[in-house]
Amino acid sequence: MMTSLKVWFLGVSLAVTLPAFGQTTAPKKSLQDCVDIAWKNNLQVKQSEVQVEVNRNTFEQSKYTRLPTLNSAITQGLNLGRNIDPFTNAYVTQTLNYNNLNLTSSEIIYNGGIVTNTIKQNQQLLEASKLDVQATRDQVALNVVLAYLQVLNNEDVLAVSRTQVDITGQQVARTEKLVSAGALPQANLLDLQAQYANDELSVVTAENNLVISKLQLLQLMNDPEIQEITLDRMSVNTPDDTYNTPIQQIYASALKTQAAVQAADLRTLSARTGVAIARGSYFPSLAFNVSLGSNYSSAARRSLAGNPTTITNTAYVDFQGQQVPVTFTTTQPGYTTQNIPWSEQLTNNLNGGVGLSLRIPIFNAFQVRYRTANASLSVQNQQYQADNVRLQLRQNIEQAYVNMTAAAKRYGSLTRQVEALALAFKASESRFNAGAINSVDYNLAKSNLDRSRINQIQAKYDYVLRIKVLDYYQNKPLSF
């Protein structure tokens, strides 16, 4: 018994790392290497990180709404026919070219807390999106750990399968000699050769499973430059039944540490802040306004002094019944007109104003009422989502715990089965070598032991996998 067990355990412990797809030049990757590569290349992680930046921009922009606004407006126009001169406000009948320039500034003094609550809500959404990134990264890490364990499981199964082929091959070689010497019938050799073919098929199956599991790990890593991989094997302790943390304690720990739960609670809190934003429209709003403006008109002209003009006039007066001509001269001042320059008009027409504007809502077709009602319904919806996250978490923990318990029992049962079948095979091997039993009984004992050993390996890694799932829910390190 001890010899057979030593052969098997030696085969498992000395199993060399098998390169993916039959290559020998694949780079070695540790578990942390695989997790880091998966984090770097996972598209869901990248999407959640982009969403964080979007929410960060929204939050930063909302903070600046506290600052005054400053806007400028420049109008260039051309009026034809009869129109109003913006310089004199008089009607003119001519083609008119004009400019209006305005600079306005406004600052909200009070608006029912809408600005403050909007900033608060955007900050809550930003923190929730950060937690989404962490939740996605945690899930990716867990998936990589499980895939990594599956590769190790298949490597160990392949190592055991190859050991089985070696043992059967040795027995075939020994039997060939005995058959040639006439000590055993030909049927014994044929049975062993059939068993050898079955063992070789098991090796092929194990190799295929290993290739598939490595492919799944590579797909999680999502690095097109890595086509082959060899794992840096780590020590996976033999599980026992000392996992005594009850479900209630695991669930309580998960509620405090799981990023998905915290993100759901933050979104519920954000929805409540949304109610305060909607209610803010019930209150008056007060704003401080400043304006500065000027204008230009092509019709604006000014008069300039010119040369005086002497005008001679003749008038008739009645003198003694006769019209007597009287000649006199008058001097009129001369003047000319010119367009007022653009820059001068802007300076002369400069105007400004300062004021406070108070907006008092009286009736707005019940818009605020229904916005507030919808915001309250959003709070309920977010609370239900948060409750659903907790429900799914509790159910997942319960299922994982049941699976872990079942895996532990199965591993313990298979361990005892391997020990018993190893003793039985040892006895059968001794009796077969002594010629006391035929090859059929020997092959049956060996097949039972081989199958039990492979099942034990699978149960071991299945148990370790379930433990890692429970560790994940408690925010324990996923490394070994």
* C-alpha dihedral, 196 to 197 to 199 to 204, nearest 10°: 150
Distance in angstroms (rounded) separating the CA atoms of residues 418 and 420 = 5
The answer, yes or no, to whether residue 334 has pLDDT greater than 60, is: yes
pLDDT greater than 70 at residue 81: yes
The model's pTM? 0.76
Contact (Cβ atoms closer than 8 angstroms) between residue 220 and residue 143: yes
Q: Please state which of the ranges 51-65, 159-173, 363-377, 388-402 shows the lowest mean pLDDT.
A: 159-173
Residue 325 is predicted with a pLDDT of 79
Residue 330 phi, psi dihedral angles, 5° rounding: -130, 150
Interacting residues of 29 by C-beta distance below 8 A, sequence separation 6+: 37, 229, 230, 231, 232
User: pLDDT for 94-108, tens place per residue?
Assistant: 777 888 899 999 999
At 319, the pLDDT band (50, 70, 90 cuts) reads: confident
Lowest mean pLDDT among 46-50, 88-92, 150-154, 387-391: 88-92
What mean pLDDT is predicted for residues 293-320? 77
What is the reported pLDDT for 314? Answer: 78
- Name the more confident of 324 and 141: 141
Side chain identity at 225, as an amino acid letter?
E
In the prediction, which pLDDT does 27 show?
66
Report residue 169's pLDDT band, with 50, 70 and 90 as the boundaries.
Answer: confident
Range from 36-40, 79-83, 85-89, 169-173 that averages highest in pLDDT:
36-40
Tally: H helices and E strands in the chain: 10, 10
pLDDT at 270: 96
Per-residue pLDDT at 22 = 40
Minimal CA–CA distance to 160: which of 207, 95, 215, 118? 207
Per the model's pLDDT, the better-predicted residue between 181 and 46 turns out to be 46
* pLDDT tens digits, 350-392: 899 999 999 999 988 899 999 999 999 999 999 999 999 999 9
23, pLDDT greater than 60: no
State residue 295's pLDDT score.
Answer: 85
Report the pLDDT value the prediction gives residue 25, as an integer from 0 to 100.
53
Q: Which of 224-238, 261-275, 289-303, 344-358 has the lowest mean pLDDT?
A: 224-238
Q: How far is CA 449 from CA 12, 88, 333, 370, 412, in A?
A: 15, 111, 132, 72, 16
Is the pLDDT assigned to residue 336 strictly greater than 80?
A: no
Cα 259 from Cα 69, distance rounded (Å) = 38
- If one compares 315 and 158, the residue with the highest pLDDT of the two is 158
Structure tokens at 453: 């050993």
Give the residue, 460 or 88, on which the prediction is more confident: 460
Confidence of residue 192 (pLDDT cuts 50, 70, 90): confident
Flag the least confident range among 109-123, 345-359, 361-375, 412-426: 412-426
Please report the pLDDT score of residue 38 as a whole number.
94
Nearest CA to 449 out of 161, 178, 232 is that of 161
β-sheet bridge partners, residue 103: 72, 292
For the chain, domains (ranges, CATH) are 2-89+110-290+363-473 (1.20.1600.10), 302-339 (no CATH)
Kindly tell me if the per-residue pLDDT of 5 is higher than 90.
Answer: no
pLDDT at 2: 33
Closest CA to 418 of 455, 443, 453, 461: 453
Least confident residue range of 32-41, 182-191, 412-421? 182-191
Which amino acid type is present at position 347?
T
Query: Once rounded to an integer, what is the mean pLDDT over residues 115-131?
Result: 96
Residue 452 pLDDT level (bands cut at 50, 70, 90) = confident
86 pLDDT exceeds 70? no
Please tell me the predicted confidence (pLDDT) of residue 335.
67
Taking alpha carbons only, the member of 236, 243, 242 closest to residue 460 is: 236
Between CA 85 and CA 282 the distance in angstroms is 44
Identify the pLDDT of residue 239.
62
Question: What is the per-residue pLDDT across 432-449, written as a single tens digit (0 to 9) for each?
Answer: 777 777 767 777 787 788
Residue type, 434: A
Residue 479, pLDDT above cutoff 90? no
Q: Are 67 and 148 in contact (CB under 8 A)?
A: no
How far apart are alpha carbons 433 and 429 in whole angstroms? 6
Stronger pLDDT, 248 or 315, i.e. the higher one: 248
Q: State the pLDDT confidence band at 31, using cuts at 50, 70 and 90.
A: confident
Half-sphere exposure of 427 (CA within 13 A, CB side): 5
Q: Which residues is 104 bridged to in the sheet?
A: 71, 291
The whole-number pLDDT of residue 116 equals: 94
Which residue, 138, 144, 170, is CA-closest to 48? 138
- The overall average pLDDT reported for the chain is 84
